[in-house]
């Protein structure tokens, strides 16, 4: 801004299109702002000149907004400034947003709300290494175990001493007690042969099962007339005949051989529950007490 003395001869405009005030001596002034002339009346005084200068400055500031930026400009804090409706930049701060009332959802995350925890992952099953081995089937029961378990007291068997110190079968076979081959009968079932009654005509038959348990059958010999058994005969000093019989054995009556230590085959003539054996004139009959004296076995030597 320039101020001349009292003449009006100059044009009063500066070269850059800024603001210029010319004061003339006739009480009129011309203010040029951005190339536009504005005429006003003034009092030629120091205060009037200052007031005119202030008015010009206000007008200049009203037309110049240095804080405005283009739409692509960003502020120094790094916050992007969006364009206003007229294409200019919106210079003001973001509008204040009031928090919604409690219990209402504004579509975002509530302040202070605990985020929902992720559900626990379901563990994946351990992959199978292959088909599970099938359980091994139980072995079939031992047939000898079954045979011993299937008989009870009163059962008749076709079992006897073979004459060589062993029985004729490895397992019991039940038969009809009235059959001619019913050679023995079960009188007791126990766990050990030592529990069986002892004596002539009796025997214990023990067996160990596959599971380690044991069973024993107590047998009585079933004698019948016409059966034969091996024996050892010896003549006494008085001329009488003495014999030791293998009473639990069954021997072929027409056999030509006898077990070692035996020298005769005896034929059963009778089984008595008391009294003495009948004698014949042509041959001597021998008797053996059996079943602990409960019976008497009568037999004679087979004729050669």
Residue 258: which residues within 8 A CB-CB, separation 6 or more? 163, 230, 251, 264, 265
- The residues that bridge with 167 in the sheet, in sequence order, are 161
Specify the pLDDT at position 49: 58
Lowest mean pLDDT: which of 58-62, 133-137, 173-177, 277-281?
58-62
Q: Are residues 194 and 148 in the same domain?
A: yes
Q: Are residues 3 and 27 in the same domain?
A: yes
- H helices of the chain, in order, are 46-63, 143-149
Tokens 């054995």 locate to 249
| In a domain? residue 194 | yes
Contacts within 8 Å (CB) and 24+ apart, 252-257: 252/228, 253/226, 253/227, 253/228, 253/302, 255/228
**CA 105 → CA 108, 110, 118, 221, distances in Å?**
7, 8, 21, 104
Number of domains in the chain: 3
Nearest to 183 by CA among 173, 192, 193: 173
Q: Which of 221, 242, 260 is the last residue of a domain?
A: 221
CB atoms within 10 A of CB 302: 15
Q: Are 159 and 151 in contact (CB under 8 A)?
A: no
Band of the pLDDT at 193, cuts 50, 70, 90?
very high
Q: Are residues 173 and 233 in the same domain?
A: no
Nearest to 151 by CA among 250, 249, 219: 219
Q: Are residues 202 and 178 in the same domain?
A: yes
Band of the pLDDT at 20, cuts 50, 70, 90?
low
**CA 248 → CA 96, 142, 194, 228, 243, distances in Å?**
121, 28, 17, 10, 15
Q: Which of 195, 221, 247 is the last residue of a domain?
A: 221
| In a domain? residue 22 | yes
Lowest mean pLDDT: which of 62-71, 96-105, 196-205, 290-299?
96-105
- Per-residue pLDDT of 165-174, as tens digits, reads 899 999 999 9
- Per-residue pLDDT of 201-235, as tens digits, reads 999 999 999 999 999 999 999 999 999 999 999 99
Q: Which of 58, 76, 105 is the last residue of a domain?
A: 58
| In a domain? residue 160 | yes
**CA 2 → CA 49, 63, 128, 222, distances in Å?**
11, 21, 100, 164
Specify the pLDDT at position 182: 97
| Sheet of strand 214-221, all strands in order from the earlier edge strand to the far edge | 174-175, 156-157, 184-190, 214-221, 202-208
| pLDDT greater at residue 67 or residue 127 | 127
| In a domain? residue 286 | yes
Residue 5: which residues within 8 A CB-CB, separation 6 or more? 25
| In a domain? residue 115 | no
Q: Are residues 240 and 215 in the same domain?
A: no
Q: Are residues 196 and 175 in the same domain?
A: yes
pLDDT at 246 over 90: yes
What is the dihedral angle through the alpha carbons of 79, 83, 88, 91, rounded to the nearest 10 degrees? -40
Return the structure tokens found at 129. 């290494």
Return the structure tokens found at 71. 């739409």
| In a domain? residue 15 | yes
Domain holding 18, by residue range, is 1-58
């Amino acid at each position: 801004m320039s101020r001349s003395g009292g003449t009006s001869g100059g044009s009063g405009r500066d070269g850059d299109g800024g603001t210029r005030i010319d004061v003339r001596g006739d009480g009129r002034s011309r203010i040029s702002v951005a190339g536009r002339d504005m005429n006003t009346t003034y009092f030629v005084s120091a205060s009037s000149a200052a007031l005119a200068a202030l008015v010009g400055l206000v007008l200049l500031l009203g037309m110049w907004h240095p804080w405005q930026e283009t739409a692509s400009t960003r502020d120094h804090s790094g916050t992007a400034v969006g364009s206003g409706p007229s294409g200019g930049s919106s210079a003001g701060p973001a509008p204040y947003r009031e928090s919604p009332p409690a219990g209402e959802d504004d579509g975002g995350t509530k302040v202070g709300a605990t985020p929902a925890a992720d559900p626990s992952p379901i563990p994946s099953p351990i992959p199978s290494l292959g088909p599970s081995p099938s359980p091994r089937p139980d072995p079939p029961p031992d047939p000898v175990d079954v045979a011993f378990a299937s008989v009870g007291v009163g059962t008749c068997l076709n079992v006897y001493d073979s004459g060589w110190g062993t029985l004729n079968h490895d397992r019991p076979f039940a038969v009809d007690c009235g059959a001619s081959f019913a050679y023995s009968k079960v009188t007791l079932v126990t766990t050990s042969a030592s529990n069986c009654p002892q004596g002539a005509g009796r025997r214990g038959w023990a067996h160990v099962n596959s599971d380690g348990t044991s069973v024993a059958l107590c047998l009585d010999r079933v004698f019948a007339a016409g059966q034969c058994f091996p024996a050892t005969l010896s003549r006494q000093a008085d001329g009488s005949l003495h014999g030791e019989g293998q009473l639990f054995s069954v021997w072929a009556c027409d056999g030509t051989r006898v077990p070692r230590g035996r020298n005769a085959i005896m034929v059963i003539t009778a089984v008595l529950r008391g009294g003495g054996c009948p004698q014949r004139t042509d041959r001597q009959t021998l008797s053996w007490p059996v079943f602990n004296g409960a019976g008497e076995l009568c037999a004679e030597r087979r004729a050669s």
